[in-house]
Amino acid sequence: MTPAPGVRWRRVAACLFGLGLAAYLGLSASSLFALGIPYDAPYGPMPAKIHPGTYLTLLALFIALCSHGNPLGVALRLLGQQPLVAVYLASVVYLLAYSVLRYGPSGAAFVIDTLIMAGLCLLTTMLFEARWQRRFLALIGFTLVANALLGLGEALAQARLVPLRLAGGPEMLDEYFRASALLGHPLMNAQTTASLLPVVLLLPAPRVLRYAMGLAMVLSLLAFGGRTSFAVALLMYGSYAVFRLVDALARGRLSYLQLTGGSVGLGLLMALTVGVVAGSGLGERIFNGLVWDNSASVRMRVWGVFDFMGADQILFGTSPDEMAKLMIRLGLDAPVEAIENFWLVLFIQFGVAGFVPFFIGFGCLLRWLWRRAFGALRVALLTFVVISSTTNSLASKTVGLSLLCCVVASAASLRPRPSVQHLPFTSLRTNP
């Protein structure tokens, strides 16, 4: 039986969206620079400042909307069904318009790639049937595992597949080697890996293999050298595991054999892991850097920025040039050192006039994600917010929020009896 034209076009859109996700995961700023695209360099045409994954995703979104009927009407109906997402998108579109009108296009590309695309990736995911959502989830999960394995390989070889560069500058060399793998910057790798760790538990693979992939992702946090990501991941997921264990014990769901065997197996696994880490030198930066170093000092020093800002800047924000001057007055060595707090960066850049609408919209997005997430995915959401608050990730070009939105929107298709609000876009009449 020949599928309806709308279904055929939706297949095309799904393939394009999959390519967009693959581009987000596989083409870092350093990779794009190696290909001759000045994505994060302080020069080059405006189209080069937008990630290739964004172009693919926008095309996929348009085709997916058309596959359901009139694209404008479908988009409005979808936004009407998801008012929290609509508020978020309105806030970040306002942020983009505010930035362009006040400062020009310079420095506004991150609003598109990081903030706007997160909401659009979420809506795009919802336009597909459950079977496609499961495939998107598998694509993200298996690619993150491959990224973790590549990071471990780079750490053991002490060499990167793609030279790491910041803002199109020379190759970055650290005192302690940190892997960059597919996602580029080590901190971006650590944040994304830690935040999306539960994805491996949802992959279509045997349980033992899923646990092995999860262990590889945890070990890769040592290779990426993100101390905050490593500590927050251990705290959040460790607490969740203890909570689940206590709950299972209280409900009598574990037998004596399971408790004994699990304890012995966990002890052996921990001993093996410690041996591998000690013998390979993984996590050298983390374990040797558990001191109040320059990175920690910078995170405290940046709060003094308000001493150098006038009332006009606090109310309406600062231009990219003024931001650079503020960083100099704070004694920061850009691009190596930065204001590692996206809340603070956005407030400095957009002032009260831009930050307050964003804060409201971002809160709506988090509310939507929390209501849709379940189990460990809620822990992943909290982990993402905590780690992001210690970096400038959401105030620069990163893909973590877009991936998180896609994962949470897709994961609902795995629930055995989803409620109405967890179903895909309601105009779909095809079976999953």
Q: State the DSSP string of 166-182.
A: STT-SBP--SS----TT
Element (H, E) at 321: helix 320-329
Residues 326, 309: contact at Cβ < 8 Å?
yes
What is the three-class DSSP state of 254? coil
pLDDT confidence of residue 368: 97
Contacts of 177 (CB under 8 A, 6+ apart): 155, 158, 284, 285
Render each residue's pLDDT in the chain as its tens digit; 432 residues: 456 677 888 999 999 999 999 999 999 999 999 899 999 888 888 889 999 999 999 999 999 999 999 999 999 999 999 999 999 999 999 999 999 999 888 778 899 999 999 999 999 999 999 999 999 999 999 999 999 999 999 988 888 888 888 877 777 777 678 889 999 889 899 999 999 999 998 988 898 899 899 989 998 998 898 888 888 998 998 888 888 777 777 777 766 565 665 565 656 556 555 565 555 556 565 555 554 455 666 667 777 788 888 888 899 989 888 888 888 787 776 665 677 889 998 999 999 999 999 999 999 999 999 999 998 999 999 999 999 998 888 988 999 999 999 999 999 877 654 433 434 555 443 333
Per-residue confidence (pLDDT) for residue 73, from 0 to 100: 93
3-state helix, strand, coil in the chain (%, to 5): 70, 0, 30
Give the model's pLDDT for residue 288: 58
Write down the residue that tokens 């999960």 correspond to: 141
Are 68 and 74 spatial neighbours (Cβ–Cβ below 8 Å)? yes
pLDDT of residue 432: 33
Task: Give the integer Cα–Cα distance in Å for 193 and 218.
Answer: 8
How much is the pTM?
0.88
Q: Which amino acid is at 264?
A: V
pLDDT, residue 327, reads: 80
Distance CA 359, CA 343 (A): 9
Q: What is the DSSP string of 137-174?
A: HHHHHHHHHHHHHHHHHHHHHT--SS--BSTT-SBP--
pLDDT given at position 293: 52
